[in-house]
Amino acid sequence: MYAQIKPLFIGGEWVQTPDAHEIFNKYTGELFVRVGKAGPNEKDRAIEAAQRALAETPLSPAKRFQILHRVHQLLLERVDELAECIAKEGGKPIRDARTEVNRSATVFLLSAQEAVKIKGEIIPTQVAPHFDIGQRLIYTIKKPVGIVCAITPFNFPLNLVAHKVAPALAAGNAVILKPASDTASTALKLCELLEEAGLPKGYMSCLVGSGSNLGEKLLEDPRIGMYTFTGSPEVGKHIRNKVGLRRVTLELGSNSASIVHNDADIEKAAAKLARMSFAHAGQICISVQRIFVHRDVEEAFMEAFLRHTARLKVGDPMDPETDVGPMISEKEAIRAETWVREAVAEGARIVTGGKREKNVYFPTVLVNAKKGMKVVDEEVFAPVVSVAAYDDIREAVRMVNDSKYGLQAGVFTKSITLAHQIPHWLEVGGVIINDTSSFRADQMPYGGVKDSGMGREGPAFAVEEMLETVTVVVNLEE
């Protein structure tokens, strides 16, 4: 526990603020750390520093590469320290927290590589005989959008910050980060690494404060050129409506599904699905929430799935054996419990789980859960999964698509034909064959359709979204 208030990182300086925000250990409930809390003055200071940096110390692509590559190395050197912070303030099992730090290091490496690949293109000129544009050279250049505001959720307090900060810097932008208040000290630790890597002052600020207060002030500030948001669909839609014509990337929630077809390796599918339905207590945007299994293999699948689920160890996230830790708050665990109770009252049956101890909700498997129930239609964001059978693959596809969301879907099948056909039928941003909806490689384009958002992340794709294309036309006539 820290004795004093951890300062905020504003325009490259560590700044003490009059107000503090308390962050608690999500398993023990003890105070973990006090961090500074930003108000309008801190917001203005961060934005002015960003404007100065962009005007006075533009960063060459080679310099950006050097800094981001150094952060990649520093992250790898501090895996244990950062993972402990994520486990304590986020409640994520330490094993998964270590994976998160290693993945974040990869995101910085990939972003460093993108920084030196940014380029415009030459546009062909004499394209149609009936419109002569004369002797002209047309080409594009890429420029940073300016100040990028990154707003991030609690569930991946380092990697989802990395997925915004690293590409934004790779593109030459300055960043104002507003992390989720509940897990903000991890983001402040990343600022220490950016400073140590030699990022010039002004390019990075991390402001802690609530979404309803500081978040709103950031959305209202016209000096910000782009918002990159990961979080709930509700807040995402609000941001979209509020920022007008300024650029926005939205990575939102889902009620992701996975299909287990009758030709799948049932044992492997059951093991993966048990792990990824309950990893980080279901608080992952691509967490498996709905499983559709072919009726021919339903019984065999359920036996294996429940066997693997029973093996999951629930408890202290600092224990390296733990698979499922606490939820972010007791309020959220009570919400999950209430949704399950409502589903049961409407005809669903709990096969295992349905138990809560404070903010720990035990892995819960439901059958007979149907459309119209919150556990099916809404994003449950808790360790709760429902299993339903289908007779025909088209029926399974219809059930997956019968959702307001569309982030990713998993399909277990040995059929090479089905594996290549089904991505055309499913209404999602990513189809994962022979793995769950929850698979993500940091280099791949990642994002959703429908209420799951707009825009794509993954360093190469995020950098593109964070650049402005400027067209240059040179008249070569003498």
Among 18, 131, 212, 416, binds ligand NDP (CB under 6 A): 212
Under rule CB under 6 A, residue 285 binds ligand NDP: yes
Cβ at position 119, least distance to ligand NDP in Å: 28
Among 28, 210, 338, 471, binds ligand NDP (CB under 6 A): 210
- Determine contact, residues 466/172, Cβ cutoff 8 Å: no
Q: Which is nearer to ligand NDP, 230 or 413 (CB)?
A: 230
Residues in contact with 299: Cβ distance below 8 Å, sequence separation at least 6, in sequence order: none
Catalytic member of 251, 298, 457, 464: 251
Cβ at position 72, least distance to ligand NDP in Å: 21
What are the angstrom distances between the C-alpha of 475 and each of 121, 125, 137, 314? 17, 12, 7, 69
Cβ at position 90, least distance to ligand NDP in Å: 10
Under rule CB under 6 A, residue 219 binds ligand NDP: yes
d(CA 314, CA 45): 44
Contact track, ligand NDP, 395-434, x by CB under 6 A:
------------x---------------------------
Stretch that binds ligand NDP, among 4-12, 179-187, 303-311, 365-373 (CB under 6 A): 179-187
Catalytic member of 89, 191, 285, 465: 285
d(CA 19, CA 2): 16
Active site residue 285: yes
The SS3 call for residue 41 is helix
Under rule CB under 6 A, residue 459 binds ligand NDP: no
DSSP 357-426: ETTEE--EEEES--TTSHHHHS---SSEEEEEEESSHHHHHHHHHSSSEESEEEEE-S-HHHHHHHHHHS
Among 106, 155, 322, 386, binds ligand NDP (CB under 6 A): 155
Under rule CB under 6 A, residue 157 binds ligand NDP: no
Q: Which is nearer to ligand NDP, 125 or 443 (CB)?
A: 443
Nearest Cα to 27, choosing from 330, 236, 391, 287?
330
Among 37, 178, 280, 290, binds ligand NDP (CB under 6 A): 178
The SS3 call for residue 134 is coil
Q: Locate tokens 């819960």: which residue?
A: 364
Under rule CB under 6 A, residue 232 binds ligand NDP: yes
CA dihedral for 437, 441, 445, 448, sign (positive or negative): positive
Name the residue number minimizing CB distance to ligand NDP.
211
Cβ at position 436, least distance to ligand NDP in Å: 15
Side-chain-facing half-sphere of 72: CA atoms under 13 Å:
19
Give the interface size with ligand NDP as a residue count (CB under 6 A): 30
Under rule CB under 6 A, residue 66 binds ligand NDP: no
Long-range Cβ contacts of 302-306 (<8 Å, 24+ apart): 302/351, 302/387, 304/266, 304/267, 304/270, 304/271, 305/270, 305/273, 305/274, 305/365, 305/387, 306/351, 306/352, 306/365
Among 90, 91, 93, 153, binds ligand NDP (CB under 6 A): 153
Residues with catalytic annotation?
251, 285
Note the residues at the interface with ligand NDP (CB under 6 A).
Answer: 151-156, 160, 178-181, 210-212, 215-216, 219, 230-232, 235, 238, 251-253, 285, 379, 381, 407, 453
